Amino acid sequence: MYILLCTFCMNGLYGTTGFYPKFLFDINISIIVTIILDQNLHEPMYILLCSFCMNGLYGTTGFYPKFLLDLLMDNVSIITVFTLSGLNEIMNHRTALFYLTLLCYSVILLVNISIIAIIILDKNLHEPMYILLCTFCMNGLYGTTGIYPKFLADLLSSVHIISYSGCLVQALVLYSFACSDLSILAVMAYDRYLAICQPLQYHSIMTKQRLVQLVCFSWITPFCIFSVNVFLTARLRLCSSNINRLFCVNWVIVKLACSPADTHINSIIAYITIILYVLHGFLIIWSYMCLIKTCLRSVENRRKFMQTCVPHLTSLISFLVAILFDLMHMRFGSKDTPQILQNFAAIEFLVIPPIMNPLIYGFKLMKIRNRILNCVYFKMNDKL
């Protein structure tokens, strides 16, 4: 009787735990969005309330995902930790690699935070194109922060392990970062299409409310999709704990399953996800076909294209080359490929796009470039 009572209580805990995080998330998000969108609420008291809710999301997000994964994984997998073996062949150079990685991460933080701060502080840059660039840089910080700190800690340690739930969370961050990047690039292409091809309707279509909806779609949709992927992975019984990578990747974890038959649903969801984001790619291609067709008719439109679309196109190409290189190697690469080349393929899209994107936009977009030059000029004058 008491065992049944215990089971009943545990089931109640499991059920309510699945409800309360979403309830807390929804109510906090609702308050934050309401305060941001309503200019009448831009007063100290409401701004402090907004920051209070954001801090609540920050705190609960650090606890609930792992707790839910722990509940889901109970009695599913006997593996509690993974071994990351991607660093085994380069440990002789780990000190130099640590300082190089630390420098790279510091540059990523510097250039992305600088662009974000410039756009937030300068009211002249509160336009859709610059706000989308700001969210693009924020997403870069989100993705790299999910990987670099753990990678730096591994370089200083002789044992490279990660907990099961921590590995799944890292995989979720990695995939949601990559797909959010593609979603934001698609929205930026749509924004440029409206600005150049339909300039008279631009402001009526790309309203502040529409912009918030598109940004939320770019962030929340990938997170929800890959949450489903990760939860499907968490139900699998695994027969190995060795991941031959620098960090956790969902598909690599799936391939460790004892029974291939159990991974069919994972493959189906994965291919649906791939199709969804291939459609994002087609949207970008369609936008640029229309842009190029329009720009051929006017010198003014060609100037706009060179000034605003070339940075976007450069970011898109660098991102796609980096991500496709890693995906092709992960899906079809040979196991005999040297470990150093595997590591380069894995880490490339976490190094090149987060550094290059802010630099490309910072030097190419005139308003941001002028703002940066003004900041440097004033600092030099202050020193003199």
Q: Render pLDDT for 333-378 as a digit per residue (tens, 0 to 9).
A: 666 667 777 777 778 778 888 888 888 877 777 778 777 777 766 6
Q: What angle do CA 21, 27, 32 make, to 5 degrees?
A: 120
Distance of CA 126 to the CA centre of its chain: 22
- Whether 379 has a pLDDT exceeding 90, the answer reads no
pLDDT tier at 109 (50, 70, 90 boundaries)? very high
More confident position, 384 or 30: 30
pLDDT for res 40: 74
68-74 CB contacts, 8 Å cutoff, 24+ apart? 68/17, 68/18, 68/21, 69/164, 69/165, 69/168, 69/169, 69/230, 69/231, 69/234, 70/165, 71/13, 71/14, 71/17, 72/231, 72/234, 72/235, 73/164, 73/165, 73/234
Q: Centre a 10 Å sphere on the Cβ of residue 299 and count the other Cβ atoms it contains.
A: 7
- Whether 201 has a pLDDT exceeding 70, the answer reads yes
Picking from 131-140, 206-215, 304-313, which range would have the lowest pLDDT averaged per residue?
304-313
Averaged pLDDT score across all residues of the chain? 78
Average pLDDT over every residue of 176-182: 90
Distance of CA 26 to the CA centre of its chain: 21
Nearest to 159 by CA among 90, 102, 88: 88
pLDDT tier at 144 (50, 70, 90 boundaries)? very high
Structure-block tokens of residue 8:
């009943």
* Burial class of residue 271, CB neighbours in 10 A (0-12, 13-18, 19+): exposed
Strands 161-163 and 81-84: antiparallel
pLDDT for res 259: 83
What ranges in 235-296 are assigned the alpha helix state H?
A: 250-254, 264-295
pLDDT for res 141: 92
Separation of alpha carbons 329 and 318, rounded Å: 17
pLDDT for res 6: 41
More confident position, 159 or 38: 159
CB distance 188 to 127 below 8 Å: no
More confident position, 5 or 79: 79
pLDDT tier at 267 (50, 70, 90 boundaries)? confident
DSSP 75: T
Separation of alpha carbons 193 and 288, rounded Å: 7
Average pLDDT over every residue of 288-307: 77
CB distance 224 to 276 below 8 Å: no
Separation of alpha carbons 217 and 195, rounded Å: 20
More confident position, 169 or 336: 169
